[in-house]
């Protein structure tokens, strides 16, 4: 096998599963250690640099990091239902307990002398705010447009206040706007041509995917008064235009928007709220924890029901009919839903919320401004630079590749900001900067390591919730109370410190087998070299997870190779602890993505 | 020395054996020996062997004397019986335990100081009596606990870490064991578990005095150029006469070997030792041949390893003493003190 090149910035990055899975590549273990140490402001700033909205994301993130978390793979009682480290809720701990005055003092300095370049941002959601955050410290004059009167975009309009209090949004959008961004709120952009004519050097479009998909079945027109599009309804709730819903509510759809709709309904007078979904429970798009939260609030989820018609009497909605289906595999192994043949189901209701998807919509972009659109209605973009076919126009967030989530929008914003900065500095936008990687030994002395490596089986700690009685009474009362400092510490201690890497130096190895014998996970093998597929089967313990690398080092005296399976390594450091010659060392790989600025050009 | 506890977490694919125990269940406390010590590899090999043999931990007694090697029973088989005896006196304590309770499996762990110096006489007598045991000497040729003096097994002419040359002739424990009538004699290397683990299994199965000399480099005091017990030296001069698989009737191994290169030795308990011969003419049943071979190869500077001698029909001390099948510890008062009538009868028979 090929000897592993640990100088490749991707190699150790992949070992840090959470950071690798995060679209913004936040250095997760680093901030978790800081939380354990009680250094909340430091932890907050690591997050803020990387994902811009730690307080928001600590409550609402889609957490792609958590399914990737190693803890879920290595605990024996964890195999059936993995219990990863509560990374997302730890982020909230950093946001809740940081020293606000300290944070204010740590915000980047904004040059008073501007660089003369003007950038327009369309939409004040997470993607555009990230672009502003990255460009303001570089001296750009940034103008942000939004039809609403305050910043936040979907963060403000879609996420119910019982999940995300307004004060958190105000605070974190404030950090950016206070940098001196020129705001044109309440001013919806209705022509890209006009905007370009205004002599901006670059335009970033982060207007989201604002159109909710409708359901065209019989009765839709007749009963329209009680049928609402989910995202529009949530926005109206958010802005206080809607304060009440019928006693019996049907929510159609299985995504996170549907979960927000049903939980909001429970707080606005909905007593019998049901979620009705076409697919099975496991195939629903909503995150498992959001489904859990809905069920916890007494909301049943009915699966395998396909909407057939809205039933109305005298122009008033009285219920809906559904066909029951079941999943069946076709000859190609594809799942399809086929009718069960059972009689149709009638569910009475007073209101229906349709949350079956969102679509992009760019009626305000003239087709002759040089921005090409693909067949899917999405702009034609370079996937790395986010540049459209009009070199001055960039897209990000849901507007770029269709609806995703906040953390993806942030990642897009960072990348687009790099592109804008490079373009306006006269550089090649396709030349992308590598991340900064720093490997530092964690050895402090004999048997002393600078991180906590006493690893134990430990179940995930639950985030305390407000009682249902008070939670359902007021739509503005936050349900989750968040970890307190003690729980936060305990949960932080579950982190395996996957960024503290096992680094092997063949030259020093005397092949005494001490590391092989001590490794609790049987990760290490000294064996004659061979083909990867063969080697994977003859290791101390078979390495069947092909998504995880084998660390290969040759140059040993016996001619064998050292093979380490990265998959289940606990990063406990016992190999280094038991190594007589220091051939193994534990080195922290601090990986920081490059953002717009001098680093993105020189690295 | 390590202060960290080994995490209880283990590989998700770790398999339990027939008794439902995983290999990790056979571990002991974390080793306090120097990092890299060969003895830790031997502990790991013992754990592996006992796990593979499906032995219940409470049926094993591990006994040792004094020294680095004699500390190791703490680091394996944490749920077995243990006895850490006086320096060099492990063989007699083991003999006594074996006589009192023949039902346990006896594993004696000792070192070159414990067995070749202070306990040489004890070693000799336990072997010549044919006590049913596995006697492992963890042989590093140096007194590690007292910082690196030559032990009695250090080869003449080898160099200490400080540069002194050993002027004394070495004691070859394997040659002694052969001469004293051990019925299972082997030598191996801590750095070669492929060879060592099956040897330990076979020795534990053997119904007689089984002796294994395991060369186990001392990383702190005897792993330098000029030492004949260093990792590099042993690897370069290791002449294995055979490798083997232990085949139990319950779990036959079906690996095919080239004709003529394989020899099966069936032991008393029905287990088969399948030898893959590396030295074509070497005969594991020839005690005299083994002794001669050892001397010749030693003169040529080689370290002979592998199963060197086995008597599959071995008999142990209990057979020669004609003791009862019931362990002596299980005899109760009526058995041991049959009463005055029985005494009168016995006296009458002698009049």
Whole-number Cα distances in Å, A331 to A222, A334, A335, A336: 41, 7, 10, 11
The minimal CB distance from A580 to the residues B10, B13, B34 is found for B34
Residue B60, domain member (yes or no): yes
The answer to whether the beta carbons of residues B63 and B98 sit under 8 Å apart is no
Q: B12, A514: Cβ pair inside 8 Å?
A: no
- Nearest chain B residue (CA) to A457: B9
Nearest to B109 by CA among B59, B173, B63, B42: B63
Chain B neighbors of A512, CB-CB under 8 A: 36-38, 41, 191, 217, 219, 231
A224 and A191 share one domain: no
A448 near B CB under 8 A: no
Chain B neighbors of A75, CB-CB under 8 A: 9
User: How many domains is chain A built from?
Assistant: 3
Q: A572, B4: Cβ pair inside 8 Å?
A: yes
The model carries a pTM of 0.91
A313 and A222 share one domain: yes
Rounded to a whole number of angstroms, the CA Rg of chain A reads: 26
A121 and A144 share one domain: yes
A200 and A274 share one domain: no
Strands B209-215 and B105-111: unpaired
Q: B11, A541: Cβ pair inside 8 Å?
A: yes
Q: B35, A557: Cβ pair inside 8 Å?
A: no
Q: A512, B41: Cβ pair inside 8 Å?
A: yes
Q: B41, A574: Cβ pair inside 8 Å?
A: no
Q: B191, A511: Cβ pair inside 8 Å?
A: yes
For each successive 10 residues of chain B (351 residues), what is the average pLDDT?
84 92 95 95 97 96 97 97 97 97 97 96 97 98 94 96 95 97 97 94 96 97 96 93 81 55 79 81 93 93 94 94 94 89 94 90
Residue to mutate among A448, A500, A513, A526, with most B CBs inside 10 A, is A513
Residues 87-106 on A with a CB inside 8 Å of B are none
> Would you give the end-to-end CA distance of chain B in angstroms?
67
Burial of B282-317, coded b for 16+ CB within 10 Å and e otherwise, reads bebeebeebbebbeebbeeeebbbbbbbbbbebebb
CATH number at residue A228: 3.50.50.60
Quote the domain boundaries for residue A262: 212-356
The whole-angstrom separation of Cα B13 and Cα A270 is 49
Residue B144, domain member (yes or no): yes
Residue A498, domain member (yes or no): no
Angle, vertex CA A237, rays to CA A235 and CA A240, nearest 5? 110
The whole-angstrom separation of Cα B79 and Cα A434 is 53
Angstroms from A106 CA to nearest CA on chain B: 38
Identify the bridge partners of residue B63 per DSSP, sorted by sequence position.
Answer: B83, B108
Whole-number Cα distances in Å, A386 to A194, A409, A411, A524: 22, 12, 11, 42
A221 and A312 share one domain: yes
Q: A557, B36: Cβ pair inside 8 Å?
A: no
Q: B8, A574: Cβ pair inside 8 Å?
A: no
Q: What is the pLDDT of residue B254?
A: 53
Joined tokens for residue B248:
């139990």
A148 and A40 share one domain: no
**Residue ranges of chain B whose CB lies within 8 Å of a chain A CB:** 1-14, 24, 34-38, 40-41, 43-44, 190-191, 193, 217, 219-220, 223, 231-232, 235
A560 near B CB under 8 A: no
A254 and A337 share one domain: yes
Tally of CA atoms within 13 A in the half-sphere of B5 that contains its CB: 9
Three-state secondary structure call for residue A579: coil
Q: B12, A574: Cβ pair inside 8 Å?
A: no
Q: B231, A512: Cβ pair inside 8 Å?
A: yes
CATH number at residue B206: 3.40.50.970
Identify the bridge partners of residue B349 per DSSP, sorted by sequence position.
Answer: none
- pLDDT tens across A108-159, in order? 999 999 999 999 999 999 999 999 999 999 999 999 999 999 999 999 999 9
Q: What is the pLDDT of residue A603?
A: 47
Residue to mutate among B2, B8, B9, B40, with most A CBs inside 10 A, is B9
User: How many domains is chain B built from?
Assistant: 1
Joined tokens for residue A370:
């040089």
Q: What is the pLDDT of residue B250?
A: 64
Collect the ranges in chain A with pLDDT lower than 50: 603
The whole-angstrom separation of Cα B213 and Cα B111 is 9
Nearest to A509 by CA among A558, A552, A549, A550: A558
Joined tokens for residue A186:
């309440």
The whole-angstrom separation of Cα A273 and Cα A270 is 6
A19 and A55 share one domain: yes
Give the number of A-B residue pairs with CB atoms closer than 8 Å: 103
A94 and A118 share one domain: no
A252 and A348 share one domain: yes
A91 and A136 share one domain: no
Residue B224, domain member (yes or no): yes
DSSP string, A523-540: -EEEE----HHHHHHSSS
Length of chain B: 351
Whole-number Cα distances in Å, A599 to A30, A36, A315: 21, 30, 63
Quote the domain boundaries for residue B238: 23-329
A381 and A322 share one domain: no
Angstroms from A522 CA to nearest CA on chain B: 7
A452 near B CB under 8 A: no
The whole-angstrom separation of Cα A231 and Cα A252 is 12
Which of A310, A328, A356 represents a domain boundary (last residue)?
Answer: A356
Rounded to a whole number of angstroms, the CA Rg of chain B reads: 21
Residue A89, domain member (yes or no): yes
Q: B13, A544: Cβ pair inside 8 Å?
A: yes
The whole-angstrom separation of Cα A438 and Cα A12 is 10
The answer to whether the beta carbons of residues A89 and A483 sit under 8 Å apart is yes
């Amino acid at each position: 096998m090929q000897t592993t090149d640990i100088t490749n910035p991707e190699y150790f990055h992949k070992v840090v599963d959470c950071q690798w899975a995060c679209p913004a590549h936040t250095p997760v273990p680093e901030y978790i250690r800081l939380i354990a140490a009680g250094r909340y402001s430091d932890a907050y700033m690591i997050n803020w640099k990387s994902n811009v909205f730690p307080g928001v994301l600590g409550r609402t993130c889609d957490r792609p990091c958590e399914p990737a978390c190693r803890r879920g793979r290595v605990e024996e009682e964890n195999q059936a239902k993995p219990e990863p480290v509560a990374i997302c809720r730890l982020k909230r701990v950093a946001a809740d307990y940081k020293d606000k005055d300290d944070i204010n003092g740590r915000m980047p300095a904004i040059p008073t002398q501007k660089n003369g370049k003007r950038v327009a941002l369309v939409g004040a959601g997470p993607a555009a705010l990230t672009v502003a955050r990255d460009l303001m410290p570089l001296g750009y004059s940034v103008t942000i447009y939004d039809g609403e009167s305050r910043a936040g975009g979907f963060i403000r309009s879609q996420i119910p206040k019982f999940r995300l209090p307004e004060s958190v949004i105000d605070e974190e959008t404030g950090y950016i706007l206070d940098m001196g961004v020129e705001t044109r709120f309440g001013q919806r952009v209705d022509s890209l041509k006009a905007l370009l004519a205004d002599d901006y050097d670059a335009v970033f479009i982060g207007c989201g995917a604002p159109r909710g998909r409708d359901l065209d079945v019989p009765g839709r027109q007749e009963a329209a008064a009680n049928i609402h599009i989910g995202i529009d309804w949530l926005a109206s709730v958010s802005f206080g235009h809607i304060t009440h819903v019928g006693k019996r509510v049907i929510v159609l759809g299985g995504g996170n928007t549907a979960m927000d709709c049903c939980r909001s309904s429970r707080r606005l007078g909905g007593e019998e709220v049901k979620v009705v979904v076409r697919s099975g429970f496991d195939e629903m798009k909503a995150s498992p924890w959001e489904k859990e939260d809905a069920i916890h609030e007494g909301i049943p989820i009915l699966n395998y029901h396909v909407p057939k018609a809205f039933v109305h009497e005298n122009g008033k909605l009285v219920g809906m009919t559904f066909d029951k289906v079941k999943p069946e595999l076709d000859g190609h192994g594809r799942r399809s839903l086929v009718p069960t043949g059972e009689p149709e189901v009638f569910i009475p209701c007073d209101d229906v919320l349709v949350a079956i998807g969102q679509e992009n919509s760019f009626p305000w972009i003239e087709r002759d401004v040089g921005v090409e659109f693909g067949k899917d209605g999405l702009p034609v973009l370079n996937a790395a630079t986010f540049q459209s076919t009009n070199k001055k126009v960039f897209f990000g967030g849901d507007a770029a590749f269709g609806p995703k989530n906040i953390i993806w929008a942030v990642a897009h914003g960072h990348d687009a900001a790099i592109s804008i900065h490079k373009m306006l500095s006269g550089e090649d936008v396709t030349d992308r900067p590598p991340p900064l990687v720093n490997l530092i030994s964690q050895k402090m002395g004999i048997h002393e390591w600078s991180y906590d490596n006493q690893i134990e089986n430990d179940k995930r700690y639950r985030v305390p919730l407000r009682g249902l009685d008070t939670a359902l009474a007021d739509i503005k009362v936050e349900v989750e109370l968040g970890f307190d400092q003690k729980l936060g510490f305990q949960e932080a201690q579950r982190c395996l410190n996957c960024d503290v890497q096992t680094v092997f130096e063949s030259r020093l190895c005397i092949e005494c087998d001490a590391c092989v014998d001590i490794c609790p996970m049987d990760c290490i093998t000294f064996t004659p070299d061979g083909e990867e597929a063969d080697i994977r089967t003859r290791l101390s313990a078979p390495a069947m997870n092909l998504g995880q690398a084998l660390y290969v080092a040759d140059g040993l005296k016996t001619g064998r190779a050292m093979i380490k399976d990265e998959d289940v390594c606990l990063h406990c450091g016992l190999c280094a602890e038991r190594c007589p010659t220091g051939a193994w060392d534990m080195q922290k790989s601090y990986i920081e993505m490059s953002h717009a600025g001098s680093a993105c050009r020189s690295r | 020395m390590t202060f960290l506890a080994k995490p209880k977490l283990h590989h998700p694919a770790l398999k339990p054996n027939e008794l439902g125990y995983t290999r990790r269940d056979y571990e002991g406390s974390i080793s306090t020996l120097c990092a890299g010590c060969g003895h830790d590899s031997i502990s790991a090999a013992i754990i592996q062997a006992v796990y593979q043999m499906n032995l219940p931990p409470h049926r094993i007694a591990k006994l040792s004397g004094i020294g680095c090697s004699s500390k190791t029973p703490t680091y394996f088989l944490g749920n077995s019986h243990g006895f850490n005896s006086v320096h060099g006196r492990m063989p007699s304590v083991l003999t006594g335990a074996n006589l009192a309770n023949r039902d346990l499996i006896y594993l004696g762990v000792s070192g070159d100081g414990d067995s070749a110096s202070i306990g040489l006489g004890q070693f000799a007598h336990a072997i010549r009596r044919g006590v049913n045991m596995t006697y492992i000497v963890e042989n590093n040729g140096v007194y590690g606990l007292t910082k690196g003096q030559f032990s009695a097994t250090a080869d003449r002419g080898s160099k200490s870490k400080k540069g002194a040359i050993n002027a004394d002739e070495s004691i070859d424990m394997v040659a002694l064991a052969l001469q004293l009538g051990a019925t299972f004699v082997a030598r191996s290397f801590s750095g070669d578990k492929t060879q060592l683990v099956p040897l330990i299994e076979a020795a534990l199965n053997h119904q007689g005095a089984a002796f294994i000399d395991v060369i186990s480099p001392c990383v702190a005091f005897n792993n330098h150029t000029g030492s004949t017990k260093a990792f590099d030296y042993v690897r370069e001069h290791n002449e294995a006469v055979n490798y083997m698989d232990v085949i139990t009737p319950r779990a036959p191994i079906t690996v095919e070997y080239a004709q003529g290169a394989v020899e099966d030795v069936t032991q008393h308990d029905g287990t088969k030792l399948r030898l893959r011969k590396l030295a074509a003419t070497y005969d594991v049943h020839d005690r005299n041949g083994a002794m001669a071979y050892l001397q010749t190869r030693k003169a040529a500077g080689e370290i002979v390893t592998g199963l060197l001698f086995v008597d599959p029909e071995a008999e142990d001390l209990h057979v020669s003493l004609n003791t009862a099948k019931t362990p002596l510890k299980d005899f109760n008062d009526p058995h041991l003190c049959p009463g005055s009538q029985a005494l009168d009868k016995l006296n009458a028979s002698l009049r």
